Chains A and B, each alone.
Chain A
Amino acid sequence: MRNHLIPRVMTKLLVPAILLFALYVQFHGDFGPGGGFQAGVIFASGFILYGLIFGADMMRRVITPRKVTFFIAAGLLLYAGVGLVSIVLGGNYLDYGVFAEDFAAGQRLGIMLVELGVGITVAAVMIKVFNLFMVRMDR
C-alpha cells in the first residue's frame, strides 16, 4: 500500500477528520447518539487506516505498543477511579451526584469522565488487536 499515491494522500486527508469526528461523538454523546464505545471504535479506525496504508512501523512511531497497553488499563482505571472518588466524597460507588453542589451538574461531570474512560479503553484495545495482527502478518 505504501507506494500507492492516491490512498496515501486520501489517508492523510481523512485521518484528522476521523479523529475529530471521534472526539465529537465522544463529547457529544450526552446530546445526540454516540458515546464512549462508538467514539473509541471510530478513533481506533483512524489509527487502523493509517496503519494499513503506511505500515506497522510508521504506526509504531505514532503511538508505541507500550503506550497502547498503558491506555488499555488507563481507561478502565479512570472509570473505576471515578467510582472510588465518589465514595471518598461521601456518596455510593459510581454515584456522581456528589461531584458538585448541584446534583445534575455532578451527574454530567461523572458521565463525561466515565464515557471518556470507556472511549480510551475501547480505542486502545482495538488499536492493540490490529497491531498484533499486523506484527503476525509481517512474519
Chain B
Amino acid sequence: MSVDSTPLDGPVAASPRADFVADFASSKTAVFGAVLLLAFVVVALLAPWLVPQDPYDLAKLDILDARLPPGSPSGDGAMHYLLGTDSQGRDMLSAIAYGLRISVAIGVLSTLCAALIGITLGLVAGYAGGRIESLIMRIADMQLSFPSILIALILLAFLRPGLGNIVAALIAVQWAYYARAVRGTALVERRKEYIEAARGLGLSTARIVFRHLLPNCLPPLVVVATLQIASAIALEATLSFLGLGVPITEPSLGLLIANGFQVLFAGKYWISVYPGIALVLLIVALNLVADRLRDLLDPKLRSR
C-alpha cells in the first residue's frame, strides 16, 4: 500500500518546458486538436489574403450567383465557388473564413477581458477576505446559478444586436467563472509561507497579489480560459443564430448558419452545413487541447 516509488536521486528534468511539450504531444488527439486550432487561427488572422473574395464588399457580389452548389463556376467564370454560394451570392469559402475571423475574435476578446476582470476581482476577494470577499462572491454565485444563455439573452434584449454589445454580454456572462476559480486558489495560496514572507518583507499589497499570488493561481486558469473561449464561441454562435448576436453586415459563423437554415429543407445544405462544420471543428479543437492541458496541469490526475 504505502509504496514509495519516487527515486531518491533520480534524473533532474532536462527542461520543464520541453517536458511539458513532450507530455502534451503524447496524446495523439491532443496534437490533432492543437494542429487544427493553429490552422484555424492562421486562417482567421490571414483571411483577407487567403480567400478569393471579400464577402463584405457588396459591390463585388453578383446576386445571379446566389445559391450555387459547391464547385460551381461564377457567372463571369473568374473563379470557382469551392463551397458554393449563399443567398446573396457570397462565396461560402470566403464567408466562412471571414466568419471564422469574427467568431475567433469575439471568443478570444471576450474571454481575455472577462479573465482580466474576473481574475482581478477573484484575487481581490481571495486576498482581502471579509466583506469584500462576501460581496464579490455573492454576486458571482448568484450569476453562476443562472444559465449563461439566459443572462446573455436578457442583456442582448436590452442592448440590441451589435458587435460591441455581444462582446460585452459575453464578458458579463464569463467573468464569474474566473472570479470563483481564482478566489478558490487564492484562498489556499494566501496561507502559504511565501506570502507570509512577502508580507514580512513589507511588500505592497498590489505587489504581493500580482507578482507573488497570481503566478501560482494561473495554471488551472489556462484550462478554464481555453474551455471558456470554446464556450464563448459556441454561445455567440447560438445567439447569432437566434438573431440576437452580431449584425447581419458582419456575419459570424453562427449567423451564416442561421442564414442557411431556411433553405436547408430545399436541399441547399451547403449554406448552413459548411459553416457549421467549421464551427464544430473549431470548438472540438479547443476542447481537445483544453482536455489535455487539464490532464497535465491538474496535479490530482497526474498518474495518467
A-B complex is real = no
- List residues of chain B with CB under 8 Å of any chain A CB: none
- List residues of chain A with CB under 8 Å of any chain B CB: none
